[in-house]
A and B are shown apart, each in its own frame.
Chain A
Amino acid sequence: MSEEQDPEALVSLLGREQAPLLARRFYGEGTPSPITASLAQVPELLEVALPFVGAALGPAGLDERTKEIAILRTSALLECRYCVQTHTAVALDVGLSTGEVRALRGEGDLDEAFSDARERVMIAWIDAVALGRGPVAPELATRASEALEEHELVELTLAVSATLMLNRYCTALDLPTGADTLARLAAGGFA
Chain B
Amino acid sequence: MTALAEAIAAEKIGGRVWFYSNYHCNLQCSYCLTESAPLVKRRELGREAILERAREASALGFTGYGVTGGEPFILDYMPDLVAELGRELPTIVLSNATLFNERRLREIEPLADLPVHIQISLDHPDPVENDEMRGPENFRKVVEAIPKLVERGIGVRIATTLDDPDAADPEEQERLCELHRSMGIPDEDHVVRPVINRGRAVSNEMGVLAGFEQLEPELTLTADGAFYSPFAPTVRGGRLDTDLLVSRTTSPLSAAAGSLVRIADDLPAGHDASIGIR
The judgment on whether A and B are partners is: yes
Q: Which residues of A contact B (CB under 8 A)?
A: 12, 14, 17-22, 40-44
Verify B246–A43 contact, CB threshold 8 A: yes
Verify A22–B263 contact, CB threshold 8 A: yes
When chains A and B are docked, how far (Å) is the Cα of A40 from the Cα of B248?
A: 10
When chains A and B are docked, how far (Å) is the Cα of A22 from the Cα of B228?
A: 11
Contacts A20-B242, A20-B244 hold; do A44 and B263 have CB atoms under 8 A apart?
no
> Shortest beta-carbon distance, B222 to chain A, in Å?
13
Q: Check if B259 is an interface residue, CB within 8 A of chain A.
A: yes
Verify B248–A21 contact, CB threshold 8 A: no
> Shortest beta-carbon distance, B259 to chain A, in Å?
6
Contacts A21-B263, A22-B259 hold; do A42 and B241 have CB atoms under 8 A apart?
no
Verify B262–A17 contact, CB threshold 8 A: no
When chains A and B are docked, how far (Å) is the Cα of A22 from the Cα of B239?
A: 20
Q: Check if B113 is an interface residue, CB within 8 A of chain A.
A: no
Which residues of the partner chain B approach A20 to less than 8 Å between Cβ atoms? Answer: 242-246
Q: Check if B247 is an interface residue, CB within 8 A of chain A.
A: yes
Which residues of the partner chain B approach A14 to less than 8 Å between Cβ atoms? Answer: 242
> Shortest beta-carbon distance, A130 to chain B, in Å?
31
Verify A18–B255 contact, CB threshold 8 A: no
> Shortest beta-carbon distance, A126 to chain B, in Å?
34
Q: Which residues of B226-278 have CB atoms within 8 Å of chain A's CB atoms?
A: 228, 239, 241-249, 255, 259, 262-263
Q: How many residues of B contact A (CB 8 A)?
A: 16
Which residues of the partner chain A approach B259 to less than 8 Å between Cβ atoms? Answer: 22, 43-44
A21 partner, pick from B228, B239, B249, B255, beta carbons under 8 A: B228
Verify A44–B244 contact, CB threshold 8 A: no
Which residues of the partner chain A approach B262 to less than 8 Å between Cβ atoms? Answer: 22
Which residues of the partner chain B approach A18 to less than 8 Å between Cβ atoms? Answer: 241-243
Which residues of the partner chain B approach A40 to less than 8 Å between Cβ atoms? Answer: 242
Verify B249–A44 contact, CB threshold 8 A: yes
Verify B212–A21 contact, CB threshold 8 A: yes
Verify A44–B243 contact, CB threshold 8 A: no
Closest to A16 in B: B243
When chains A and B are docked, how far (Å) is the Cα of A18 from the Cα of B248?
A: 15
Verify B243–A17 contact, CB threshold 8 A: yes
Contacts A21-B212, A22-B262, A22-B263 hold; do A43 and B245 have CB atoms under 8 A apart?
yes
Which residues of the partner chain B approach A17 to less than 8 Å between Cβ atoms? Answer: 243
Task: Apart from A12-B239, A21-B246, A43-B259, list 8 A-B contacts with CB within 8 A.
Answer: A17-B243, A20-B244, A21-B244, A21-B245, A21-B263, A22-B246, A22-B263, A43-B247
Closest to B217 in A: A21
When chains A and B are docked, how far (Å) is the Cα of A42 from the Cα of B263?
A: 16
Verify B243–A19 contact, CB threshold 8 A: yes
Closest to B240 in A: A18
Which residues of the partner chain A approach B244 to less than 8 Å between Cβ atoms? Answer: 20-21
When chains A and B are docked, how far (Å) is the Cα of A44 from the Cα of B246?
A: 8
Verify B242–A44 contact, CB threshold 8 A: no
Which residues of the partner chain B approach A43 to less than 8 Å between Cβ atoms? Answer: 245-248, 259
Which residues of the partner chain A approach B212 to less than 8 Å between Cβ atoms? Answer: 21
A44 partner, pick from B228, B239, B241, B248, beta carbons under 8 A: B248
When chains A and B are docked, how far (Å) is the Cα of A138 from the Cα of B263?
A: 51
> Shortest beta-carbon distance, B209 to chain A, in Å?
12
